[in-house]
Chain A
Amino acid sequence: MRRSRPLARRPERPAARVQPSSAPPIAVAPVLQVELGTLLLVALVAAGAALRLAALGATGLTVREAGQAFAAWAVAQGARPPQWVGDATSVLTSYLFRLGADGDAWPRLVSGLAGAALVPAAYLLARPEGRTVALLASFLVAFSPLTVAASRTALPGALGGLLAALLAAALLRHWQRPRPQTLWATVLLAALCLGSDAVGLAGLLGCLLFLALAVWTGDHRWPSVVESLRRWPWAVVLGLAPGLAISAIHWGYGPSGALAAPRLWSDLFVLPGDRSPVLTLLALLAYDWPLTFLGLGGAALLLRRAWLARGLDSLSPWERLSLCWLAPGLLVALAGSHAHEGALLAVALPLALLGAVAMSWALVALPWGEAGRAWPAAVLVVACSGALGLLWTLWSRPFSQVSAAEAWGAWLAAVSLMWGLWLAWRRWGTAAAAATALALAPLALGFWPHTVWAVGFHQGAEPLLGARFTVGRDQLARILPQMPAPAAPLALSLGVAEVLGWHLRHLPLAVGDPPPRSGVYIAEATSPVPRGFSPRGEPVTVAREWRWHGDDGRRFWRWLLLREPYGRVLELRVQTMVRTQ
């Protein structure tokens, strides 16, 4: 007989049948308690240091780095080459050489150490804004390819950036609570910035702008700062005197390279330049679009807040200082004609601070807990961007043709992406934005290590880093000792000495016109042959430089993935000449 009790269509699920483990528990007590924030900071500092200091010599020095390193090496030997600027990085590097250091990694060590210290310095600087912002700022500084590139170079920038960050932190501390110690530190660091480099000066200018703004807006803190100057003039003197002394005489190298920062700053804008601001902007996007967009987004958020509140005093001092720092940084990026990877730190650092503002805003404003509801948006983003990426990669192959189906597929993916996101926004609102951000985050997080690897550990074509040496340089270095009269000084033209001097530094060198004793003279391939010399062999390409050309998006994509150059490559060719008379 059938039972009359109806059965639910959906089967009932019994309560959990937990079959507890038969193992007796082992009683354990915590031996230590660590704050999550501290743990994250330690991890960031360690990761930042590892990225900056590991295998510093993995890639050979670039041509510009070699010139800088050769000048420091020559100074350590007692010479004073014309390209010597006397910035703090070069001075410290030359001290390393005097202590016996040798090899490609050593010229980068000062920047590497300064760059590693920049990560906790960013935390220190942003700490008044709360732990979240401070950690985010450290995170951006630690992993940004631009800051990593600036820290793995022999060119000045990272040390100035570190001094500027410490200066800003000291100034903010003094601004909040004037003390003789903070005043002393602020003045000392400001003076040291003058002897550092263009990045240090950019930070100093940002701080001055901040003070000027405070005066202009009548900030209520300004009188107490002025009062502190009156109360503790000795702190100013004690800070200024050693700072200026160090910046001027460089620990015993004399006043020839005094106050290098303003000179390096002005050098950035000298015309004619070697790179247009368009290229610098492109470099910002190609090497660190997450930082650029986040930083500019953060700046826009702050300006919008100030606009709505009808005044900059609605921003915290830290936020105002970050905006003020961005101004000279943007000047370097937009108007600089010689902005190299070290100098770009001038804009990367304030962008990192402002990027932290944007990220912390997004963390609060978006409903991350509801992102799961909008998972189709995330799937759509992953599927369409994956398909578009693969299609672009397929098309960017040399000699590849675009089939009609592929073109339609790409259009379909792009249109689906746009419409899908719009529909998702209509359906789920900000939850869709959170889901999209979560889907795009791995893309950004994947881009960073890829670019960090490219700029720090790989010998690919990098417009940011400038010209790289070719195997021709090694060939040249191998055959030179076999030339006639190897004991006589090897003569190098001024231009070639700047390029090859570092690699030939262990040979007896004479820079300029060949002296009578020299049997071999190396000059640019286009330079005239001096009397008594004749060319030996064909000119050798010792370095190549490549920059983005035209608007070929597909080839640019291939460069982005594989670091393959396209279009014209600039070559530096040298000619070896031997004395015949």
Chain B
Amino acid sequence: MLATLGMQSEEDLIAYLPPAVRFNSRLSMEDGKSEFEIVDYFKERAERNANGYASFLGAGVYNHYRPVLVDAIVSRGEFLTSYTPYQAEISQGILAAIFEFQTMVCQLTGMEVANASMYDGSSAVPEAAMMAVRVTHRDRILIARAVHPEYREVLGTYTHRQHIPVEELAYEKNGRLDLDDLKAKLDDHTAAVIVQSPNFFGLIEQIDELSHIVHGKGALLVVVFTEAVALGLIEPPRHADIVVGELQSFAISPSYGGPFAGIIATHEKFIRQIPGRLAGETTDASGHRAFCLTLATREQHIRREKATSNICTNQALLALMATVFMSLYGKQGMRELAEQNLAKAHYLADKLPLAFDAPFFNEFVARTNGKSPEQINAALLDRKIIGGLPLARFYPELENCVLLCATEMSRRQDMDTLAQAFAKQ
């Protein structure tokens, strides 16, 4: 093989790598260890992870239960190692699953069409923005500051290179979108207004009211969610033109930050502008119901630089986890799960001084009143509790504020301990 490539040794294969990025020392492990000794070594170090700690972190990644059946189904070979379903004849299983996924996403979000999944919630946001730019032929984006800070950063990565100006909308004293700021900045050049609900502070935005304002100027309304469980209880954003979000809450392990699965859903009239993969229902040559990838003319392997996006894949396995999750819980179960989240978060919030006075789901912002958030979190860590996210890093005006999340996994004793840590002066 080396001879065919015109090379002498394996070293030649990586000759292009700059010396600065090469690892030139030895691994920091003693020589002569057997396989089980090495496995033991790493097991010992893994013990230092915060296994079994209670967590009150939300902020885009949530601690929810993963039903055992999810892994049992997704680890089946037919799903685990199946390739992209370009060849419909041998891919009916995965295509049917994707079709079910798309259908469930529509039911959850109140939209008419959803694609086969995006990489994650954060990258779905700029995709929606680009879609709005194409649909409206306008070139400016407004995004609420109460949208997840890292989602806003990802939007910037895309819009910077596309030369699309992005302006941020302030939040009011109660933590929700400042409608006056929206009215002031919205104009005939605005392609989309992007709002998150529940927002980064956990508060539920008034989607209906702001949709009238946005549509009044001919712009599209993009609604984002980071906590999918909220949709089990909150009115779906039917007045949105595009809904995007993150499905990590649906049996996708937090896993050190990913991989996750995002969604994008919209109205039928925009179907040719939606990015990514679409599974469609059709009939085969014998007239039986069948599934296939469809509307491929949106995608780059056909339209090249005029494609709706450069994404040409989906998060099939993770979307499947979410599909199994949604099937297992069902409509009733999703509602019960959401109610438990709501109850737990409000139990905890009642014991703490809150920063914002507006309805929230399972996240809220608490003030620390004297102590620093870092001090409180350090004390909690000693009690095997991971505290909330200190907000000053993303919102300098919210010093001594912490974003807390309680889910169905939160235990009363841990919530009581956390409340005490805040109370102690």
Q: Is chain B a partner of chain A in the same complex?
A: no
Q: Which residues of B contact A (CB under 8 A)?
A: none
Q: Which residues of A contact B (CB under 8 A)?
A: none
